[in-house]
Amino acid sequence: MDVLFRKLGLLELDGYCFDRAVKGGQAAALAIYRRNGAPSSLGENAPDFVAVKFLIAPRKSGELESFRREAEILLMLRKYGKSPTVVKALTNVCSLENIPVYYFFMEFVEGETVSDFIQKNPLPWDCDLAVDILRRIAMALIPVAASAQVHRDLHAGNIMISGKVEGFSHALIAEDPGIRILDFGVGRNWLLDQRDNWQEDRFRHPGAVSSWSPELLLDPSSVDTKHDVWGLGNLFFRLLTGEFAFLSSNFAQYFDLVTNGSYNREALRDTDPIVTKLVECMFEVAPHKRISIGGVLKITNDILEHNLRTWLQLHPVLSELYFLVEGNIWKCPLCSAIGNPNPESRCRSCGRYVETFQLPF
């Protein structure tokens, strides 16, 4: 890769010099650059290091369009808020004058992908560790989902654990779950994009196989943020069991299993029933019935922080309601009734307005 960058004249870019290549493929490459003291369009406060993503001599139709779309998404997420959970773009797509090389600058974050972390920590994992990773990823995805972005390629290789990782505790820093979401190369904004164009994905489904949801296979134009919940469910299942949720020998069989939600339930036979129910909610075939990213975050947080297992054992009749309302279940401080408040913040039991409902755990 170093030789390629030298031949293409990419050793210096906009006040930065080539430091090392991270990965490369036939068309795309990622490299780390460091400040060299020269003026930069990033200004006086330009970071010491940046990651630069390249598209080299695109050959397939749509490659450059997708590359530009990724940069636009990452720039938009940068403007959306200060959340550190997405490795954001710092520039739009630039190009070299005489050769078909396109690139954009991104934030540089130290860390390792979940895929690499799995190599060091063989599966299956302890249930609480798997739930904690899921919680952190869900927290990282909240700003993505809130801005109507669909990643469409959510798997272990596109999720980074930032910083040095020796393991996880249950304590979280509210502003930073220690997770970064990578590679929005096939991402879409399901509100702003022309959804008719998504029909092209019917014949070349984007993303890793494990990210394919039933709606992507059946009607790509119907895909929204619930699609990423399905991909995350596949990852969670693998962390818990060490196995794949949908086992098949060919595409036709895989298509049938996914569109019918026929995941490998037997592999979960020794898993905590509460966690098993969460997996079931993530693999709901109908998108409108599938749990949201916010629901995944609420339930995983209740499991780890609020002793949800014991509470549901004491109140089994409320278990179905709890998952139906994605964990949005509270205790009325006026009459002590437990349930889901109505939209006007009134207790469904006593009917009185409640300023602040309490957690029942």
27-41, 199-213, 322-336: which has the highest mean pLDDT? 322-336
Residue 62: how many other CB atoms lie within 10 Å:
11
Does residue 272 have a pLDDT over 90?
yes
- Residue 85: count of CB within 10 angstroms of its CB: 24
| pLDDT (average), residues 15-22 | 91
Query: Does 29 score more than 60 pLDDT?
Result: yes
Which segments of 145-293 are extended strands (E)? 149-150, 159-162, 179-181, 188-189
Quote the CA–CA distance of 119 and 111 in Å, as a whole number. Answer: 14
| Whole-number pLDDT of residue 32 | 94
Is pLDDT above 50 for 170?
no
Half-sphere exposure (CA, 13 Å, Cβ side) for 295?
Answer: 23
Tokens of 190: 């399901």
Is 293:251 a contact under the CB 8 Å cutoff? no
CA distance linking residue 60 with residue 132, whole number of Å? 40
Quick one: pLDDT at residue 197?
57
pTM: 0.86
- Percentage of residues in the chain having pLDDT higher than 70: 89
Are 152 and 188 in contact, with CB atoms under 8 Å apart? yes
Q: pLDDT tens, 327-339?
A: 998 899 999 998 8
- Please report, in angstroms and rounded to a whole number, the separation of the first and last CA atoms in the chain: 55
Average pLDDT over residues 218-230: 88
What is the rounded average pLDDT of the residues 53-80? 82
**Residue 142 in this model has a pLDDT that exceeds 80:** yes
**Is the pLDDT reported for residue 122 higher than 70?**
yes
Domains, the chain, in order of start with CATH, read 2-107 (3.30.200.20), 127-308 (1.10.510.10)
- 52 close to 44: Cβ distance less than 8 angstroms: no
Query: Which one is predicted more confidently, 82 or 17?
Result: 17
Q: Check whether 354 has a pLDDT greater than 60.
A: yes
